[in-house]
């Protein structure tokens, strides 16, 4: 099915004559969510289920010499034990199991270690038992002999000549010549344009800096949880909290050597993901335990396990050098990014490189990215993966440039802003972008005019994310009473199912309360790429609208049958068929309800399904302002005000678009001020809980003003662009630039926690 639309009467082509899209109806899953009825991952149970638990390496780097589970197996109540030996060895294979190619062999080895434990928390065995207490006892009875190896975690240390190697046969890809010695550097990427030396030579002013960030976690409040059942005939079912039931199906099939049709995955409601649930940790283990035991197995992670053994995002070391003329024209940029990948290759340094300068039109630049393995958990996607990190470094450098030039930071960005028709730093030419509009929005916002007091500072930063399209399926079924159900395969993380119902209702011309959205399991709806990449409203929405259009065409055909006129004498307006045949003026209009009531006689059920691979997703831009106040006694930072302007294309449900913006900002603020993985000298995480891994709480934040700029994406029926990820890109630097303004000192190492700020204030006083 094509993703290109050709309808003059709907959407942005209709000139904003929209009845449902753009309004704020109550979400259809709301009642269950506010009454505690909605079923999340750990809320589901199967009769006869066992409890599954994981034994995890206490060492950051160790060879697994032997695993002796005899005593554990003998414990009454223990029904199954699996280790790496129970999983097939996979060849190196990249697979489209979701939205990004992932190396399945690495994924399988991350789910269950083979010959080496590569981080504190790496799974080395799993048990299934009749109760939690028995499972815990069994874990304690498994004897693992480790040969502890030197570990390395900091990224530049991992790149050093003499660093302990995680994988003996890793030779850096992407260099001019293949190195003759293995290292921890999986890959180098480079993007360049123009003549860097000439660019710097032409500059009147140069700024440079070295910036560092620490590993941070997505911080979803719901730990990973699943229930899996491997039946005696090899058919499997999985209930799982994840961002993509089809992704879970694919990965489980690959890791366990199953046929796709033999696994049915039902998505639970998901308690947050942000990219962290775009892969699997427990599901293959639960299935393997179920196979061995002959019972369903339920597995729920503890918070400690979530921090130690799922996928945070990369820590980094970055270098930025910018050159500009006195009028503010940036003539050259040199950016080097070194990202931690964790135990296996695959940091988001590629995306970090492509987005680093995306907001700027710079004729001469070079961006170099290094993907480096470290003895830390294998990183997983975290909201605009890679982009917030590189944006932190670049936006701080741009801010320093503005200071050195004596220019307003927004004006400097406007001077060098990308616009339609310009080539992006990562290659393609921009069209239908709304970047300068976001700069204009913050420049003219009331926030920007508010005067600041002592110990206060204001910071500005901008950000970019691609957003993706991809494969989606939607089905629309009309009931005998004229109400409809729209079925998709995308877990609803932030309210997207409401938007599906709204778009279907708009296309059908009926009220949104007459369309119920369902998120279905893998057997009940066609394939859909997972929920992530800010794709659902764009791509799945496109499929929904096309399905609705097919239904409308069918409704018109049925009306024609009922009236005995030709199909082109039927018009569909606001949920009602109108007879246009001049010879039959006695035909009153037929409502959807009336046509549905006759569906059996006119041809059968009225239903449509559309599968597509949506292309042309529009990128997102954002511009943020942050005001902070420093407490000189404690070094604590209070965020006083925050305004975020973003190009959203078209806000289908404005409240949920605002929600995405506000939520992304909050995560970015936490990343800037407090969040970090702290490891001890043995490479073990010291703060694997919410007490010491400090995410923002209600009293840390002010109201967050979201300004939605709408420059429609013509590829989407209603002009929508993805919105979920861009909001987390600017805040790291917006906060850091505000702190710089408040303290007078540029701090380059995140998080800007109170002890660090106190040290800066002490140095100033001293």
334-373 binders of other proteins (CB under 8 A): 348, 350-351, 354
Nearer to other proteins, 225 or 742 (CB): 225
**Interacting residues with other proteins between 110 and 139 (CB under 8 A):** 133
Nearer to other proteins, 351 or 544 (CB): 351
Give yes or no for residue 533 binding other proteins (CB under 8 A). Answer: yes
Nearer to other proteins, 164 or 616 (CB): 616
Give yes or no for residue 269 binding other proteins (CB under 8 A). Answer: yes
Smallest gap from residue 694 Cβ to other proteins (A): 10
Q: What SS3 state is found at 561?
A: helix
Smallest gap from residue 249 Cβ to other proteins (A): 18
**What is the C-alpha separation between 629 and 457, in angstroms, rounded?**
6
Task: Please select the residue that binds other proteins; options are 430, 435, 572, 718, rule is CB under 8 A.
Answer: 430
Nearer to other proteins, 548 or 704 (CB): 704
Q: Peptide bond preceding 751: is omega within 30 degrees of 0, i.e. cis?
A: yes
β-sheet bridge partners, residue 705: 643
Smallest gap from residue 644 Cβ to other proteins (A): 10
Task: Please select the residue that binds other proteins; options are 237, 278, 374, 472, rule is CB under 8 A.
Answer: 278
Smallest gap from residue 596 Cβ to other proteins (A): 28
Smallest gap from residue 493 Cβ to other proteins (A): 6
**What is the C-alpha separation between 23 and 624, in angstroms, rounded?**
25
Smallest gap from residue 272 Cβ to other proteins (A): 5
Nearer to other proteins, 328 or 663 (CB): 663
In 442-543, the DSSP E strands lie at 456-465, 470-478, 484-488, 515-519
**Interacting residues with other proteins between 565 and 604 (CB under 8 A):** none
Sheet holding 143-148, edge to edge: 116-117, 62-68, 143-148
Q: How many CB atoms lie within 10 A of CB 35?
A: 8
Task: Please select the residue that binds other proteins; options are 35, 66, 161, 449, rule is CB under 8 A.
Answer: 35
Give yes or no for residue 105 binding other proteins (CB under 8 A). Answer: no
Nearer to other proteins, 660 or 737 (CB): 660
Print the binding letters for residues 433-472 with other proteins: x by CB under 8 A, - otherwise.
Answer: --------------------------------xxxxxxx-
Smallest gap from residue 545 Cβ to other proteins (A): 19
Q: Show contacts of 186-190: CB within 8 Å, 24+ apart.
A: 186/341, 186/345, 186/346, 186/371, 186/372, 186/373, 187/345, 187/370, 187/371, 188/368, 188/369, 188/370, 188/371, 189/349, 189/350, 189/353, 189/368, 189/369, 189/371, 190/353, 190/366, 190/367, 190/368, 190/369
**Interacting residues with other proteins between 473 and 532 (CB under 8 A):** 493-495, 532
**What is the C-alpha separation between 210 and 98, in angstroms, rounded?**
35
Identify the burial level of 103 via C-beta atoms within 10 angstroms of its C-beta, where 0-12 means exposed, 13-18 middle and 19 or more buried. middle
**Interacting residues with other proteins between 286 and 305 (CB under 8 A):** 300, 302-303
**What is the C-alpha separation between 141 and 483, in angstroms, rounded?**
58
Give yes or no for residue 1 binding other proteins (CB under 8 A). Answer: no
Alpha helices in 120-228 (DSSP H): 132-141, 155-159, 196-201
- Tell me the backbone φ, ψ of residue 89, rounded to 5 degrees: -80, 125
**What is the C-alpha separation between 311 and 556, in angstroms, rounded?**
50
Give yes or no for residue 227 binding other proteins (CB under 8 A). Answer: no
**What is the C-alpha separation between 418 and 133, in angstroms, rounded?**
59
Print the binding letters for residues 163-202 with other proteins: x by CB under 8 A, - otherwise.
Answer: -----------x--------------xxx-----------
DSSP string, 323-370: EE-TTS-EEEEEEEEEEEEETSS--THHHHHHHHTTTB--SSEEEEEE
Look-up of token digits 């009642």: 31
Task: Please select the residue that binds other proteins; options are 50, 52, 81, 99, rule is CB under 8 A.
Answer: 99
Site stretch for other proteins (CB under 8 A), options 68-76, 326-334, 439-447, 690-698: 690-698
Total interface residues for other proteins by CB under 8 A:
104
Task: Please select the residue that binds other proteins; options are 171, 319, 426, 448, rule is CB under 8 A.
Answer: 426
Nearer to other proteins, 252 or 358 (CB): 358
């Amino acid at each position: 099915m094509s993703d290109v639309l050709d309808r003059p009467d709907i959407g942005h082509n209709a000139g904003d004559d929209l009845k449902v899209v753009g309004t704020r109806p109550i979400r259809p899953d709301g009642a269950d969510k506010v009454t505690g009825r909605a079923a999340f991952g750990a809320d589901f149970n199967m009769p006869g289920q066992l409890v599954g638990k994981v034994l995890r390496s206490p060492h950051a780097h160790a060879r697994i010499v032997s695993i002796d589970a005899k005593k554990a197996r003998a414990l009454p109540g223990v029904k199954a034990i699996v280790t790496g030996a129970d999983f097939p060895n996979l060849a190196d294979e990249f697979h489209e199991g979701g939205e990004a190619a992932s190396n399945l062999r690495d994924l399988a080895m991350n789910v269950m270690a083979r010959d080496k434990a590569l981080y504190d928390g790496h799974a080395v065995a799993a048990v299934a038992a009749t109760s939690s207490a028995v499972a815990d006892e069994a874990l304690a009875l498994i004897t693992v002999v480790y040969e502890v190896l030197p570990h390395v975690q900091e990224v530049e240390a991992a790149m050093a000549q003499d660093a302990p190697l995680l994988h003996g046969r890793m030779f850096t890809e992407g260099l001019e010549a293949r190195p003759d010695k293995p290292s921890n550097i999986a890959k180098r990427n480079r993007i360049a344009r123009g003549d860097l030396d000439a660019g710097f030579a032409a500059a009147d002013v140069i700024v440079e800096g070295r910036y560092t960030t620490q590993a941070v976690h997505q911080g979803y409040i719901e730990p990973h949880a699943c229930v899996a059942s491997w039946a005696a005939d090899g058919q499997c079912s999985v209930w799982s909290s994840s961002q993509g039931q089809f992704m879970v199906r694919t990965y489980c099939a690959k890791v366990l050597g199953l046929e796709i049709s033999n696994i049915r995955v039902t998505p639970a409601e998901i308690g947050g993901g942000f990219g962290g649930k775009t892969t699997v940790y427990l599901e293959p283990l639960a299935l393997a335990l179920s196979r061995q035991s002959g019972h369903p197995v339920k597995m729920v992670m503890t918070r400690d396990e979530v921090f130690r053994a799922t996928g945070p995002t990369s820590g980094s070391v970055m270098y930025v050098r910018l050159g500009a003329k006195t009028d503010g024209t940036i003539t050259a940029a040199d950016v080097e990014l070194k990202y931690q990948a964790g135990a296996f290759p695959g940091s988001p340094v590629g995306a970090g490189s492509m987005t680093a300068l995306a907001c700027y039109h710079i004729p001469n630049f070079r961006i170099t990215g290094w993907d480096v393995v470290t003895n830390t958990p294998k990183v997983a996607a975290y909201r605009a993966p890679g982009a917030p990190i590189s944006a932190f470094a670049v936006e701080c450098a741009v801010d320093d440039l503005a200071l050195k030039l004596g220019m307003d930071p927004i004006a400097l960005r406007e001077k060098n802003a990308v616009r339609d028709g310009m080539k992006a730093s990562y290659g393609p030419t921009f069209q239908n972008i709304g970047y300068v509009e976001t700069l204009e929005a913050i420049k003219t916002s009331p926030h920007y005019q508010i005067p600041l007091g002592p110990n206060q500072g204001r910071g500005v930063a901008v950000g970019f994310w691609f957003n993706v399209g991809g494969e989606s399926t939607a089905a629309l079924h009309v009931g005998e009473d004229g109400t409809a159900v729209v079925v998709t395969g995308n877990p609803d993380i932030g309210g997207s199912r409401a938007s599906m119902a709204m778009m279907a209702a708009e296309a059908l011309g009926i009220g949104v309360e007459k369309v119920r959205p369902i998120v279905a399991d893998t057997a009940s709806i066609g394939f859909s790429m997972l929920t992530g990449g800010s794709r659902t409203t764009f791509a799945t929405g496109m499929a929904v609208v096309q399905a609705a259009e097919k239904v409308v065409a069918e409704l018109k055909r049925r009306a024609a049958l009922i009236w005995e006129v030709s199909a082109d004498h039927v018009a569909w307006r606001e949920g009602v068929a109108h007879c246009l045949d001049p010879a039959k003026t006695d035909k009153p209009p037929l409502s959807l309800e009336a046509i549905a009531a006759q569906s059996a006689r006119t041809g059968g059920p009225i239903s449509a399904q559309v599968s597509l691979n949506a292309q042309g997703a529009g990128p997102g831009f954002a511009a943020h302002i942050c005001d902070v106040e420093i407490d000189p006694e404690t070094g604590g930072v209070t965020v006083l005000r925050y305004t975020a302007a973003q190009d959203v294309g078209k806000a289908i449900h404005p409240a949920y678009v605002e929600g995405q913006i506000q939520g992304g900002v909050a995560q970015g603020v936490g990343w800037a001020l407090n969040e970090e993985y702290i490891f001890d000298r043995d490479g073990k995480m010291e703060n694997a809980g919410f007490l010491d891994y400090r995410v923002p709480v209600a009293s840390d934040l002010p109201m967050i003003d979201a300004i939605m700029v709408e420059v429609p994406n013509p590829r989407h029926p209603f002009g929508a662009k993805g919105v979920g990820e861009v909001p987390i890109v600017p805040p790291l630097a917006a906060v850091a630039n505000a702190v710089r303004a408040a303290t007078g000192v540029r701090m380059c190492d995140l998080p800007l926690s109170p002890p660090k700020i106190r040290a800066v204030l002490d140095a100033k006083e001293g």
